Amino acid sequence: MIKRTLFFGNPAYLSTRNEQLVVSFPESTKKDKTIAIEDLGYVVLEHPQITLTNGLLRKLVQNKTAVITCDSQHLPCSLLQPLVGHSEQTERMRHQLNASLPLKKNLWQQTITYKINNQANHLLQRKKNALKLKRWAKEVKSGDSGNHEAIAAAFYFQSLFSSIANFSRNKKGVPPNNLLNYGYAILRAVTARALVSSGMLPSVGIFHKNKYNAFCLADDVMEPYRIYVDALVYSLVEAGGNISELNQQLKAQLLSIPALDVYIDGKYSPLMVAMSRTTNSLYECFNGNSRRILYPEYM
């Protein structure tokens, strides 16, 4: 079942009653609204004047609903997830922590190969030249020792947004970097949620190792999925509207990311479901039952 994503951009009081999320508007005459907690996958809290009861937080966590809060720039900045996400969590974390270096290098090679191939397919869909990307995807070595990821990314973004002078991917760069930032933050939350549900630690990566990053593994696993954010942002840019500021309409479209259709293992599936298949396949690699991580192919 596809889980719903709720976004709160105005003051609200959130509580629970009869296994429902109850939304009250203290400064409005609107009637209370209720939503079944079991239907929720993500709750995004943007406005600083939102109040939640502890009872609601407990039920959301028990339902494995990702609660995402935003900073003063309206970008997602934190994620609330359960301490215990899987019944075999201790064993699964042990396999993850004991993963050998050659295995992690192989998994990273697979990850980057999929990512570059997806970037190439996206450029081809947009009638742009992707011959270099196709070649680089075949040249990725164990651990991506040749740093093909960075080389491909620079070429890819310049080609994709060639209509924007000197565009480069930079968190503080010109639009549509702002849209990419928001979309990637949502994708990161989707990935972290799936990793926790698969009984793994989102902070212990196969490549990323920054000691200040609590989501190293999420940042690893989401790489081939970034293409779906890129494609959505490209469509928003091509639509010709104002993208200099993230308004409610743009956020609403970016919050559809968990429900986007992706092609994985021979069939289409909602992104949030596909991500769970990816994280489960990653665990199968960690425990020695497989050597292949399952990623989507951009079609």
pLDDT of residue 193: 95
CATH class for the domain made up of 89-286: mainly alpha
Cα dihedral across residues 198, 204, 206, 210: positive or negative? positive
Asked whether the beta carbons of 13 and 267 are under 8 A apart, the reply is no
Binding residues: 149, 208, 223
pLDDT for 139-194, tens place per residue?
A: 999 999 999 999 999 999 999 999 998 899 999 999 999 999 999 999 999 999 99
Closest C-alpha among 1, 46, 38 to residue 21:
38
Sign of the dihedral defined by the CA atoms of residues 78, 82, 83, 85, in that order? negative
Counting residues of the chain whose pLDDT is more than 70, the rounded percentage is 100
Bond preceding residue 48 cis, omega within 30 of 0: no
The domain ranges of the chain are: 4-80, 89-286
pLDDT classification of 112: cutoffs 50, 70, 90? very high
Fold classification of 4-80 is Ribosomal Protein L15; Chain: K; domain 2 (3.100.10)
Binding residues for Mn(2+): 149, 208, 223
pLDDT at 83: 86
Beta bridge partners, 33, equal 23
pLDDT at 166: 86
Give the pTM: 0.93
Give just the sign of the alpha carbon dihedral 152, 155, 158, 161: negative
**In the predicted model, what is the mean pLDDT of the chain?**
95
How does pLDDT run across 53-79, given as a tens digit for each residue? 999 999 999 999 999 999 988 889 999
